[in-house]
Homo-oligomer: A and B are copies of this chain.
């Protein structure tokens, strides 16, 4: 959310510069409409790519598939992204920034109830299932399962964002460990817990499986000791 307007500004100035150079060097009205359009086309491409990357995988999805999904011709995505892997990275980055924002909001919303560590973790777990499995949740699964196709530099960006996302989890797990509610080593617990949650992408079926609330409760019951 917080970065969508900068994104728009950027593509705007780029677009008008290009059009000026190519079609009417001479000077026509500054196009405010076109500018918004261009930013949206980028987002539309990202959303379509996310869906296809998640469904078919990165390698099995051609840039032509993506172009067709948004009604473009085969070469046009490369007007918006310099490469297929830049598009992949954009999908992941947008997904991570949204997930971080959503997580922060969930924590802030829960604060009024003055939750303890266990309750806070429950909020994070529930929110994480939403990020993974909720409506419109193609971005994070793509990040989880297609990172192999990223360049080294792109992986660095993802690691940073993942660190940001995991930051609120660490002190909670530490607190629970201190209270005897979490018996395993904190670092390994974090890795194992994220695994348990992230793996749900492989088997969860929105129409047949339990609700996300049920899932989150089961996960908490599995990880957290009932009494100290």
Contact = CB atoms under 8 A, between A and B. Distances in A.
Interface string A129-169: 00000000000000001001100000000000000000000
A105 interface: no
Interface in A44-73: 56-57, 59-60
A202 B198 CA distance: 11
A10 interface: no
Interface in A91-139: none
Contact of A199 (B183, B191, B219): B191
Interface in A188-213: 188-189, 191-200, 202-203, 210
Interface residues of A, number: 36
Contacts of A185: 218, 221
A215 interface: yes
A149 B59 CA distance: 11
A223 B60 CA distance: 37
Interface in A175-189: 182-185, 188-189
28 contacts: A57-B59, A57-B148, A59-B59, A59-B60, A60-B148, A60-B149, A182-B222, A184-B219, A184-B221, A184-B222, A185-B218, A185-B221, A188-B214, A188-B215, A189-B222, A191-B199, A192-B197, A192-B199, A192-B200, A192-B218, A193-B222, A195-B198, A195-B199, A195-B200, A195-B202, A196-B196, A199-B199, A222-B223
Interface of A: 56-57, 59-60, 145, 148-149, 182-185, 188-189, 191-200, 202-203, 210, 214-215, 217-219, 221-223, 225-226
